[in-house]
A and B are shown apart, each in its own frame.
Chain A
Amino acid sequence: MIEIQNITKSYSGRKVLDNASITINDGEIFSVIGPSGCGKSTLLKCIVRLIKPESGRILVDGRNVVDIDDEFELAKIRKNFGYLFQGGALFDSLTVMENITFGLKYLTDIPKSEYPRIAREKLALVGLENAENIKPAELSGGMKKRAALARAIAAEPKYIFYDEPTTGLDPITSDMILGLISDMAAKLKITSIIVTHDIKLAFTISNRVAMLDKGNFEISGTPEELRKSSSPAFKKFTDEALSPDVQGRRHDLDVKHHKQWY
């Protein structure tokens, strides 16, 4: 279980997270939605302790990660985490196989001889068989995300964080990633934390959704509870995000971005 208690983080005097508190239960798919720049990614990076919050506590299975400053100790905590970055963040100089097995050396005691088998297994899970020896530069946007997902689950973490998993992808690839996230949670029993501005994604696969606005959690609950909510900030966000104009623009952008890979 991850308990976030009164977290505050600012950039150049601007509070991105302001006394934010929420609890994420084991085994659930939990989505954080909110407009761009509202602190969603910062929240994830605070949990993984890539960023240190100014105040508050983040309890991961009862241990407060905010107090830990020693990199060795943090590395032990991070063994529980898998992280899918927005752009994939695959290492350019390594092949897909090397990327997937990269963390095994540092996070596990698995013998090296097992690495190829694990990599193939994870690649099969994300539908990327035969991509082992390809460099990330040769992959399309969707394939990069899938390879990055295979890397994130390689060491079989307890929690997996998805940072805008469908941004920049065409609708078909987005749906495929969405299916993969559901599959991963079901097959591997991983607790999934997704930050996204894609309401469709959040409402389709999440057990619980929370909306971050002005540095704090405006509202949280099951998708059904949120649909019935009368919160003005939530209504405004969903109205804007689901308006045909925004949807159309987003689709155009997605298609345009997608075309760049071919």
Chain B
Amino acid sequence: MRHYIFEGAGRRVMSLAQKLGAVSLMIKSLFVWFFRAKPEIREIVKQAVRIGVESLPVTILTSFFTGMVLALQMGYTSKYLFNEPLYIGTMVAFSLVKELAPVLTSIVVAGRVGASVTAEIGTMKVTEQIDALYTLGTNPTRYLLIPRYAAFLITIPLLTVFSDFTGIFGGFLVSNMKFSVPGSVYWNDIVTFMEIKNFMHGFVKTFAFAFMIVTVSCYKGLTCEEGAEGVGRATTQSVVTSMVLVMVLDYFISAALVAIGLI
């Protein structure tokens, strides 16, 4: 019995090591081709527009309601504790800028675009379109991966900034209409306490999330098994892995940023 447990555990460790090795090689080829070949500007713009435009409405909607619910909860909590709705703007802005906007935006993009990247590359693999790229003088790293990495690294931070502002605005509407907090007080609460480093804390994280999501999405697409079922399975795995890793990575990056003083 114990023999089987160890065998199973060993197999899993080996499989994980193989996957990490394959991901490392993929990232290495990314850097090699980034410096060796002219970037596919048209593809980068196409992908960036696709990710940005496709994700913007749902990102705005998510952050707007998140900001609203944060203001609602903060308003009632502070009224309950202090008999007055205090520091709603501060709490909404801090929560959004440092944590919720980067994490929620990344999760939305992972679900919305990460899945489609995996499905697209996976379908290209099973229909030999990836092989066709080689025979036509290019390769998937140059034509597919670099544009998608560039697009993710540009758009996720930008979407997060949009998300920050939309969420704070949503919080303002609730604090003003529900708790009658004047606009000047709400905005003053934000600018008095928030520093640029607080914003940077959340902003820096988005690059790590973007890199991780695009790596998972591309890797799952390139390694998906044959057939429609293989593409479907790879797409699901890509979304689940990305979402879980966003959460895990969030904790460790936050801890590291706090340790270097970027609170």
Contact = CB atoms under 8 A, between A and B. Distances in A.
Interface string A42-57: 0001001010000000
Contacts, number: 53
Contact of A89 (B36, B132, B138): B132
Contacts of A237: none
Contacts of A106: 136-138
Contact-residue bracket for chain B = 10 to 19
B53 to A, nearest CB: 16
A24 B83 CA distance: 90
Interface in B115-130: 120, 123-124, 127-129
A87 interface: yes
Interface string A75-98: 100110111011101111100000
Nearest to A157: B135
A83 B139 contact: no
Contacts of A91: 124, 129, 132
Given A89-B128, A89-B129, A91-B129, A83 B135 contact: yes
A75 B128 contact: no
Nearest to B141: A71
Nearest to B33: A71
A148 to B, nearest CB: 8
A153 to B, nearest CB: 12
B195 interface: no
Contact of B135 (A50, A87, A90, A93): A50
Nearest to B135: A83
B123 A48 contact: no
A107 interface: yes
A102 interface: yes
B131 interface: yes
Contact of A87 (B120, B127, B136): B127
B134 interface: yes
Contacts of B137: 75, 78-79, 103, 105-107, 155
Contacts of B124: 91-92
Interface in A87-124: 87, 89-93, 102-103, 105-107
Interface of A: 45, 48, 50, 71-72, 74-75, 78-79, 81-83, 85-87, 89-93, 102-103, 105-107, 151, 155
19 contacts: A45-B131, A50-B135, A75-B138, A82-B135, A86-B128, A87-B128, A89-B127, A89-B129, A89-B132, A90-B132, A91-B129, A91-B132, A93-B120, A102-B136, A103-B135, A106-B137, A106-B138, A107-B136, A151-B136
List the 3 closest pairs (A to B, CB-CB), nearest first: A106-B137, A103-B136, A89-B132
Interface of B: 36, 120, 123-124, 127-129, 131-132, 134-139
Given A85-B128, A106-B136, 8 more contacts: A50-B131, A50-B135, A72-B36, A74-B134, A78-B137, A89-B127, A91-B129, A107-B137
